[in-house]
Amino acid sequence: MIKLAQRMEHIKPSPTLAVDAKAKALKAQGVDVIGFGAGEPDFDTPEHIKQAAVQALKDGFTKYTPAGGTEELKAAVCAKLKKDNNLEYSTSEILISCGAKHSLYNIFQAILNAGNEVIIPAPYWVSYPDMVYLAGGVPVIIPADERSGFKIRPEQLAAAITPRTKAFILNSPSNPTGAAYNREELSALAAVLEKTQLIVISDEIYEKIVYDGNAAPSIVTVAPALRDRALIVNGVSKTYAMTGWRIGYAAGPQSIITAMTNIQSQSTSNPTSIAQKAALAALTGPQDCIAFMTTEFDRRRRFMVERLNKIPGMSCAMPAGAFYTFPSIAGLVGKAAGAYVITDADAFASYLLDTVNVAVVSGSGFGSPAHIRLSYATSFEVIEKGLDRIEQAVRTLV
């Protein structure tokens, strides 16, 4: 019997990728599945970005680059941080990774010792706790729900800090809730953090996908005193519909960036050379694709929230950013249809997939077992059809 490493004890496959894979597999078998699991824009990567990759191929830019990314892409990230976030970074404080996920993974590997705690507000992105465990750390969860707009309060943050706390991670706008912290809320959290030595990790991957004219400021812009121990994580996956290209980045103190670069140089080596050229075109080229995408997401967001709130037993807050709704199914718990008893969101998600072929992600993987996550990064027609089916399935419950 093969014995795996102890660190694998807590590690599960990503439930969001699993739902997506299950829906795709059913589709391949010819089943008419509606998939609300997607964590990626349904738009194509803009043409000028693809062309940059084609050009890179033609130019023979197909060899190793520096493990931490090319100097020109790092410079483009610095320019982006200056222009969008009013933050000054030098290229020695930037790391290019194989996606924002890879940057996050490397951060935890670089900063955590066994038993170090990382504070994570819930609902959280599914990968944070597992990444912390993989680095020997201990996730400490602070809960938030609709009553606080799915945002934590400064008192909660202060109460969660112990002598073992090493870092705090904030994801605004959030996957899965779409909640985005405004300047005042960030200032209040920063006031707590400024009294500590914690490393602040700010996952800003949905920064540009915001609605109603609101911006999602970086906590580092709002509280520059944190800059010397903050890591900003971002990437091109969501903003430019480039999830498959695998380019993300981190900006932070040189000592941590160097450690992360060394991890990369001993593990993955550089992110793909041609994808780096494409990411360069994304960051430096025309930005109108973002407005085009967010306008369409906005239309779907409003429609989805309105429909969900009309389904008895479900209720849904209006997300401020990202491309997910996170409705509560608390009003359905205890109901049943035949052999299906809705005990929690896992049971509800299985019920939907089995009976009406609709794939949603249970909130349990996000630390919120009374919610489900629906992505609206799918066509309006599919959203309409899927919501009809969900409504029909819910009306069958007694």
Binding site for ligand PLP (CB under 6 A): 39, 99-101, 125, 171, 175, 203, 205, 235, 237, 243, 248
End-to-end CA distance of the chain: 47
- Nearest residue to ligand PLP by CB is 99
Q: How far is the CB of 248 from ligand PLP (least distance, A)?
A: 4
If you count them, how many residues does the chain have?
398
Q: How far is the CB of 40 from ligand PLP (least distance, A)?
A: 7
The DSSP 8-state label assigned to residue 321 in this structure reads B
Instruction: Report the distance separating Cα 350 and Cα 363, nearest Å.
Output: 12
**DSSP letters along 325-360, please?**
E--B-GGGTT-EETTEE--SHHHHHHHHHHHH-EE-
Q: How far is the CB of 212 from ligand PLP (least distance, A)?
A: 20
Q: How far is the CB of 240 from ligand PLP (least distance, A)?
A: 11
Q: Which is nearer to ligand PLP, 242 or 342 (CB)?
A: 242
Q: Which is nearer to ligand PLP, 101 or 229 (CB)?
A: 101
Q: How far is the CB of 396 from ligand PLP (least distance, A)?
A: 32
Instruction: Report the distance separating Cα 28 and Cα 17, nearest Å.
Output: 16
CA neighbours closer than 13 Å in the CB half-sphere of residue 37: 25
Q: Which is nearer to ligand PLP, 203 or 340 (CB)?
A: 203
b/e for 53-90, b at 16 or more Cβ within 10 A?
Answer: beebeeeeeeeebebbbbeebbbbbbebbeebbebebe
Pairing between β-strand 138-143 and β-strand 165-171 as defined by DSSP bridges? unpaired
Main-chain phi, psi angles of 19, to 5 degrees: -65, -45
Q: Which is nearer to ligand PLP, 211 or 351 (CB)?
A: 211
Instruction: Write out the two tokens for 122.
Output: 């819930």
Q: Which is nearer to ligand PLP, 102 or 166 (CB)?
A: 102
Q: Which is nearer to ligand PLP, 357 or 375 (CB)?
A: 375
Q: How far is the CB of 99 from ligand PLP (least distance, A)?
A: 3
